[in-house]
Structure 1
Amino acid sequence: MRYDLVIFDNDGVLVDSEPISNTILADCLTELGHPTTYEDSIRDYMGSAMHRIHELVLERTGQRLPADFDDAFHARVFAAFERGLEPVPGVTEVLEKLAADEVPYCVASSGSHERIRVGHRKTGLDRWFGDDIVFSAQDVGRGKPAPDLFLYAAERMGVSPERCVVVEDSRLGVEAARAAGMDVYGFTAMTPAGRLPRANGYFTSMGQLAELLM
């Protein structure tokens, strides 16, 4: 293994949550008078921390989202997770391989700690991720595309940035990883490679990831 730490994004990389959450986000914004399609949500908000959604809506419309927007949105997302969230196909095998090879890994997500935990419990991935290797945008001042979250994860894991590799499926995440001085591989199951510029490589299924990491 050529890296000392593998940093996973969560939504869309570990848990297959992006179709669920972006459908609900588009619905929530549309209901509030900000017409948004599923495709709009994927393009504009995928990979964003909640504060960035608020900032973009305010910038574009001059209107602030309601104070309870985050709670109402997450209540709907968590209920949908309980009904149908699944792990990304093949990710368990990747985690088994890393554990067998004794390669450290962690998750660094734009989502809240609660969102990460709800998803991991539902999909059974909680057995692979203890609290000490779960990092959220809540832990830092700025979410992706700022490098803060990835740098924080590397520091907490005791690994220098140049020895880390990030696994991402969003443009914001790829930008954040490169800004942190880390290699990054783009997962193109949902996001075309053209929307993930500057990634060091691309893969369409988790079965291909091990080869890239080697």
Structure 2
Amino acid sequence: MTFAAVLFDCDGVLVDSEAITCGALRDMLDENGWRLSLAECMTHFVGHAVRSRAELIQAHTGRPLTDAFMDEFYHRRNVRLENDITAIDGIHDAVRHLHERCEGRIAVASGADRYKVEMMLHKVGLHHFFEHRIFSGHEMPRSKPHPDVYLAAAAHLQMNPARCLVVEDTTVGIKAGVAAGATVWAYAPPPAPTDVLTQAGAAHVFAHMTQLPTLFSEKLTQG
């Protein structure tokens, strides 16, 4: 079956945001008694909503995850993202190509909050490709690794999830796409490990966004 729609994750797929976000979180965790390197913080939190890791945070800080903590985290995160966010290399051409090939049937299905996603897409010049087709896991009954956000995006596009290609970069997101019934391709720039992504369910792994249009066109031709 050929793909009729493409559903993109946002962080780490459209925008290079994960180290920025985890940097803000690492600093706050350090202030609350849990000292982590940036790499360790990313291992624990990339792909997860911070609130979903509340028990882990409490176990290491001895403090519950409060609304006040989250409000301060969002503030620090947003300031850093507004100043430092960049697009993933090659993503503009890739999105433009898939937007044309799918006749506009592309969407963002992110585990992040809507403000963050919309702000980042505006900052890097991608928002117009996805306007009115942006979905946040924060607005779903369950966020990733559950399939809700991908199912919502597919339903909005009036597409069977089986005809959707999901582009992800984390095991959490891959599991969400697979659970939705979509085919998932994983973006994994070196030195990211590829075996864990395929074990999570990725049907294909690619290393650079410039490869995505060609891979997609080849799939259509084969179909």
**TM-score, normalized by the shorter chain, greater than 0.5:** yes
Which of these residues, 204, 212, 216, is aligned with residue 209 of structure 1?
212
CA distance in 2, matches of 1:127, 1:156: 17
Quote how far apart the aligned CAs of 1:60 are.
6.0
Q: Which runs of 4+ in 1 moved over 6 A?
A: none
| CA gap 1:27/1:194 in 2 versus in 1, 3 angstroms | farther
**What secondary structure is seen at the aligned counterpart in 2 of 1:108?**
strand
| CA gap 1:2/1:49 in 2 versus in 1, 3 angstroms | same
| CA gap 1:175/1:205 in 2 versus in 1, 3 angstroms | same
Partner of 1:127: 128
Quote how far apart the aligned CAs of 1:32 are.
1.1
Is contact 1:147-1:180 (8 Å) kept? yes
Is contact 2:184-2:203 (8 Å) kept? yes
**What secondary structure is seen at the aligned counterpart in 1 of 2:67?**
coil
Is contact 1:112-1:136 (8 Å) kept? yes
Partner of 2:141: 141
Partner of 1:114: 115
Give the aligned residue type for 1:137: G
Quote how far apart the aligned CAs of 1:62 are.
5.9
Quote how far apart the aligned CAs of 1:143 are.
0.9
Partner of 1:48: 48
Give the aligned residue type for 1:93: D
Give the aligned residue type for 2:129: W
- Taking structure 2 as the reference length, the TM-score comes to 0.88
Partner of 1:21: 21
Counterpart mapping for 1:63-212 below 5 A? 63-101=63-101, 102=103, 104-130=105-131, 132-189=132-189, 191-196=192-197, 197=199, 198-212=201-215
Give the aligned residue type for 1:199: A
Quote how far apart the aligned CAs of 1:154 are.
1.1
CA distance in 1, matches of 2:195, 2:34: 27
| Deviations, residues 24-50 of structure 1 (Å, cap 9, x unaligned) | 211211211122221122212101123
**What secondary structure is seen at the aligned counterpart in 2 of 1:192?**
coil
**Which blocks of at least 5 consecutive residues in structure 1 are unaligned?**
none
Is contact 1:5-1:165 (8 Å) kept? yes
Give the aligned residue type for 1:119: M
| CA gap 1:62/1:156 in 2 versus in 1, 3 angstroms | farther
CA distance in 1, matches of 2:146, 2:59: 19
Give the aligned residue type for 2:214: E
Quote how far apart the aligned CAs of 1:204 are.
0.8
Give the aligned residue type for 1:122: K
CA distance in 1, matches of 2:145, 2:99: 29
**What secondary structure is seen at the aligned counterpart in 2 of 1:68?**
helix
Give the aligned residue type for 2:115: E
Is contact 1:108-1:150 (8 Å) kept? yes
Partner of 2:39: 39
Q: CA RMSD in A?
A: 1.8
**What secondary structure is seen at the aligned counterpart in 1 of 2:167?**
strand
Quote how far apart the aligned CAs of 1:103 are.
5.0
Is contact 2:9-2:110 (8 Å) kept? yes
**What secondary structure is seen at the aligned counterpart in 2 of 1:141?**
coil
Quote how far apart the aligned CAs of 1:100 are.
2.4
CA distance in 2, matches of 1:59, 1:211: 46
**What secondary structure is seen at the aligned counterpart in 2 of 1:128?**
helix
